Amino acid sequence: MVKSSGSLLNRLAFLRGLLLILAVVVAFVYVGFSREVRLGLDLKGGTQLTLQALPTEEVTEITPNVMQGVEAVIQQRINGLGVAEPLVQISGQDRLFVQLPGVADPDRAIALLGDTAQLDFRKGLVPANTLPRNELGEVTAGEEPDALFEHVGLTGDLLRNAYPQAPRRGSQNWEVLLEFKPEGAERFTQLTRDLAGTGRSIGIFLDDVLISAPVVGAEFARTGITGGTAVITGNFSVETANDLAVKLKAGALPARIQVIENRTVGATLGEVSVRRSLYAGIGGIVLVFIFMVAYYRLPGLIADVALLIYALCTFALFQLLGVTMTLPGIAGFILSIGMAVDANVLIFERIKEELREGKSLYKSISEGFNRAFSSILDSNVTTLLVCGVLFWLGVGLVKGFAVTLGIGILVSFFTALTCTRTLLLAAMGIPSLRKPQLYGVRMEVSQS
Amino acid sequence: MTTQEISPTDPTLQVLPQLSYRFDIVRRSKLWFTISLVVLVVGLTSMAFSLASFGTPLRLGLDFSGGTLLDLSFEQPITTEELRQALQEHNLASSVIQLDTNTSQEALIRMPPLSEEERLAVEATIQQKVGPFERNLVETVGPTVGRLLLRSGILAVLISFGLIVVYLTLRFQLDYAVFAILALLHDVVLTMGLFALLGLTVGMEVDSLFVVALLTIIGFSVNDTVVIYDRIRENRRLISRKVSFAEVVNLSLNQTFARSFNTTLTTMLPLIAIAILGGATLKGFAVALLVGFSLGVYSSIFIASPLLVWWRQQRSARIVEDVDADGDPDPLPSEAEG
């Protein structure tokens, strides 16, 4: 306990405390700010989808196994899109949560993810030139595909790989090159041998839609097409050929899926939101800083320093923990600054009371901290409880808010109790700062 | 701090010279309860009207009701009429269209939930009939997703209440906890009521951020109540039992006024900034928090604490009747009425 102006020993202790705080802050800031800020979809732009798996005739129940299959296929398809930092995760029993930050063409991505992509080579039963055609002159499978084509069990499962292939000379259309596994190659050879020279075509179906119906030349009648590769031709652009190859490579989805939620934010809107929210946040915090100094004088100034340290540490911690900044996250952060101020306000009000009762400055400060502690603890715990519930039950944006508010409260608990205290006591080491009126208390009330 | 023995002559003055206070909150309890009751009735009436006109007590946003929202920025100024005609082709003429009144170039269109193909078809028609645009925002929420969100939101509120009761009972006493929760219910119900009113008058919708706001309000409001309770508990220990509970509460409230006011101010300053300057998504959120925090501070001071006094007075009156003055060291002041 120090009674008077502070012995050399105590000053050294505070100096050490100060240095420790400084070191922690510098370390936090260095680590935190050397990383790039992770912006959420609402700030950066991008697409967030919730996909629901639907039971079909073959897959009558969506089991965890089926969901894992769906997840794997979707993951592979997304990899084919070349999105940076995509997120795919199973949520609930039959849902898949997909985040695609900064996707330029969300519609294409959604189309790519949604198809089951069940590839099926079927054997034509009628001459190719009698097949029905649509208004664009493309061959279709007509009303009853089963009357025109026969299943031969050569499906996408037997594929090893698929690539987009540049147009051949004299054509505009890209193609998709397929590589079969040995069993698939065998069936393909047999299928082509059966069809060669008959005028009937191979029906290449994707999700039961005929996408191409090539005719096999008579020269393959004896051997069939060997080598285990095939080419799908059609009206492909470089993108559609690539997307089909991606789908085929990833394999078919084990269940049908449906987009039940789609939130797509354009990049410009995100940018505007960031700027506006940042301005608002900084503006609000500056006002708080001014208020603290105006009302609490010296302690207010010290609280402002502690708040700055708080803000830096919290931000650095977000970075370290890889918290993604979303709009609600920023709101949570700004609110947590309000909470951090609260702890200081509680302490300073107590200090003022003690001073008014005529206690010494040192005694008042240490009493102020001691007596405010239980209020700070109780109020922080209750808010943390709510944060916990939000984190547990919330999804997406709500979770982000809970995390940022929660971290903020924990850090503020630390900074309000340690930084403010150390700085206040250090300030008391300076004789000219040891005046009650610097603590917002009128002279006549206090005695020395 | 040491508690001194109270001298029989002039107990209060000797122990706590500052037992004089400026505002007698408790004496006017009836006024505060009446104010809250009036706001409550307004809110409940608004909810009833909402229920009659939209089928839900509050105007539910996309998150809960399901639907498709498009935010488009057109290259040229357009009219609502043009858009409606384009939507008519897809039988969506009843959609809600909001056109930015300043530029007439940005449109918000709310439709029933559309599949991806349907939405693309609608966009193509708009492009063709109305003009080229940049798409700022697409939100499609299936109706089942909305229902699930709503359910988990309500669940979150209930669970938070439960946890807070348990914690406060452990740290204080059951009756403190119960009245803290009553004050919270007050804040939540009144906030919802006011938003029902805003929904009816200015078309304010509630989305999933509203649930977040409610939970944050709960956290902050209980925070405020706890600080006051904490002070009441502390004063109860320090001040003679002869001083009535109502006096102690009044004193505690007066001692915590500055803190309540300053904290509310420092929390609200950033919120006001967000409400004015922030992006569209956060505006409603900030307004909900502002309304809720104001109610939270009000209820902590004017509802939770007076209710506690009222309850203790009831109880002590009963105990006096039952036990009579037989020297029982009753923790409750028998001469409570001031």
Our CA-based measurement puts residue A437 at a distance from the nearest CA of chain B, in whole angstroms, of 18
**Cβ separation A341–B208 shorter than 8 A:** no
Pick left, alpha or beta for residue A234 (phi over 0 → left; psi -120 to 50 → alpha; otherwise beta).
Answer: left
**Cβ separation B269–A110 shorter than 8 A:** no
Distance CA B100, CA B79 (A): 10
What's the confidence (pLDDT) of residue B337?
37
Q: Is B297 on the interface with A (CB under 8 A)?
A: no
* Count of helices and strands (H, E) across chain B: 11, 4
Q: Which residues of B touch A349 (CB under 8 A)?
A: 256, 258-259, 262
Task: Write the ipTM.
Answer: 0.77
What's the confidence (pLDDT) of residue B291?
93
Surface of B (116-145) touching A: CB under 8 A: 116, 120, 134-142, 144-145
More confident residue, A368 or A234: A368
**pLDDT over 50 at B324, yes or no:** no
**pLDDT over 60 at A446, yes or no:** no
Surface of A (338-377) touching B: CB under 8 A: 338-339, 341-342, 345-346, 349, 353, 356-357, 367, 371, 374-375
Secondary structure in 3-state letters for chain A: CCCCCCCHHHHHHHHHHHHHHHHHHHHHHHHHHCCCCCECHHHHCEEEEEEEEECCCCCCCCCHHHHHHHHHHHHHHHHHHCCCCCEEEEECCCEEEEEEECCCCHHHHHHHHHCCCCEEEEEEEEEHHHCCECCCCCECCCCCHHHHEEEEEEEHHHEEEEEEECCCCCCCCEEEEEEECHHHHHHHHHHHHHHCCCCEEEEEEECCEEEECCECCHHHCCCCCCCCEEEEEEEECHHHHHHHHHHHHHCCCCCEEEEEEEEEECHHHHHHHHHHHHHHHHHHHHHHHHHHHHHHHHHHHHHHHHHHHHHHHHHHHHHHHCCCECHHHHHHHHHHHHHHHHHHHHHHHHHHHHHHCCCCHHHHHHHHHHHHHHHHHHHHHHHHHHHHHHHHHCCCHHHHHHHHHHHHHHHHHHHHHHHHHHHHHHHHCCHHHCCHHHHCCCCCCCCC
What's the confidence (pLDDT) of residue A10?
64
Surface of B (14-53) touching A: CB under 8 A: 18
More confident residue, A324 or A182: A182
**pLDDT over 80 at A3, yes or no:** no
More confident residue, B50 or A31: B50
Q: Is A435 on the interface with B (CB under 8 A)?
A: no
Mean pLDDT of B169-184: 90
- What are A85's two structure tokens? 């930092």
**pLDDT over 80 at A116, yes or no:** no
Using one digit for the tens of pLDDT, what is the confidence trace for B144-170? 888 888 888 888 888 988 898 898 899
When mean pLDDT is compared over A113-117, A178-182, A424-428, B328-332, the highest value belongs to A178-182
Pick among A91, A108, A345 to test the B interface (most B CBs inside 10 A): A345
- What are A208's two structure tokens? 């039961």
**pLDDT over 90 at B290, yes or no:** yes
Q: Which residues of A touch B71 (CB under 8 A)?
A: 269
More confident residue, B304 or B280: B304
Surface of B (100-119) touching A: CB under 8 A: 115-116
**pLDDT over 90 at B41, yes or no:** yes
Surface of B (197-216) touching A: CB under 8 A: 208-209, 211-212, 215-216
A262 → closest Cβ in B138, B160, B277: B138
Q: What sign for the dihedral angle of Cα A237, A243, A249, A252?
A: negative
Q: Which residues of A touch B140 (CB under 8 A)?
A: 259, 261-263
SS3 B24: coil
Q: Confidence band (pLDDT; 50, 70, 90) for B10?
A: very low
- The neighbouring-strand residues paired with A159 are A180
Surface of A (122-181) touching B: CB under 8 A: none
**pLDDT over 80 at A6, yes or no:** no
- CA nearest neighbour of A99 among A138, A46, A161: A46
**pLDDT over 80 at A53, yes or no:** yes
Pick among B234, B266, B267 to test the A interface (most A CBs inside 10 A): B266
Mean pLDDT of A356-372: 87
What's the confidence (pLDDT) of residue B143?
80
Is residue A419 within 8 Å of A310, Cβ to Cβ? yes
Q: Confidence band (pLDDT; 50, 70, 90) for B65?
A: confident
What's the confidence (pLDDT) of residue B101?
76
**Cβ separation B278–A346 shorter than 8 A:** no
Contacts 24+ apart (CB under 8 A), A165-170: A165/A231, A165/A241
Using one digit for the tens of pLDDT, what is the confidence trace for A278-334? 788 888 889 999 999 999 888 899 999 888 888 888 888 888 888 888 877 877 887
Using one digit for the tens of pLDDT, what is the confidence trace for B224-259? 898 899 899 889 888 888 888 899 999 999 989 888
The residues near A184 (Cβ < 8 Å, ≥ 6 apart) are A154, A158, A159, A160, A228
What's the confidence (pLDDT) of residue B320?
64
**pLDDT over 50 at A55, yes or no:** yes
**pLDDT over 50 at B121, yes or no:** yes
Our CA-based measurement puts residue A170 at a distance from the nearest CA of chain B, in whole angstroms, of 32
- CA nearest neighbour of A72 among A220, A195, A239, A251: A251
> CA distances (Å), A54 to each of A61, A75, A269, B140, in order?
8, 18, 33, 18
What's the confidence (pLDDT) of residue B43?
94
**pLDDT over 60 at B298, yes or no:** yes
What's the confidence (pLDDT) of residue B249?
92
Q: What is the DSSP letter of B58?
A: S
Is residue B37 within 8 Å of A235, Cβ to Cβ? no
Is residue B253 within 8 Å of B228, Cβ to Cβ? yes
Mean pLDDT of A249-275: 81
What's the confidence (pLDDT) of residue B215?
82
Q: Which residues of B touch A106 (CB under 8 A)?
A: 138
Distance CA A393, CA A49 (A): 19
**pLDDT over 90 at B34, yes or no:** yes
Q: Confidence band (pLDDT; 50, 70, 90) for A267?
A: confident
**Cβ separation A284–B282 shorter than 8 A:** no
Q: What is the CA radius of gyration of chain B?
A: 27
More confident residue, A390 or B308: B308
Q: Which residues of A touch B212 (CB under 8 A)?
A: 328, 390, 394, 398, 401
What's the confidence (pLDDT) of residue B338?
33
Q: Confidence band (pLDDT; 50, 70, 90) for B35?
A: very high
What's the confidence (pLDDT) of residue B39?
94
What's the confidence (pLDDT) of residue A9?
60
**pLDDT over 70 at A408, yes or no:** yes
Pick among B166, B168, B262 to test the A interface (most A CBs inside 10 A): B262
Nearest-10 crossing angle of helices A327-356, A420-428:
40
Q: What sign for the dihedral angle of Cα A254, A258, A260, A265?
A: positive
Our CA-based measurement puts residue B321 at a distance from the nearest CA of chain A, in whole angstroms, of 36
Report percent pLDDT > 70 for chain A. Answer: 94
Q: Confidence band (pLDDT; 50, 70, 90) for B47?
A: very high
**Cβ separation B277–A397 shorter than 8 A:** no
H/E stretch holding B312 reads helix B305-323
Q: Confidence band (pLDDT; 50, 70, 90) for A396?
A: low
- What are B302's two structure tokens? 């004017």
- What are A28's two structure tokens? 């936090």
Q: What average pLDDT does chain B have? A: 83
What's the confidence (pLDDT) of residue B197?
94
Q: Is B184 on the interface with A (CB under 8 A)?
A: no
Q: Confidence band (pLDDT; 50, 70, 90) for B5?
A: very low
Q: What average pLDDT does chain A have? A: 82
**Cβ separation A394–B274 shorter than 8 A:** no
Report percent pLDDT > 90 for chain A. Answer: 2
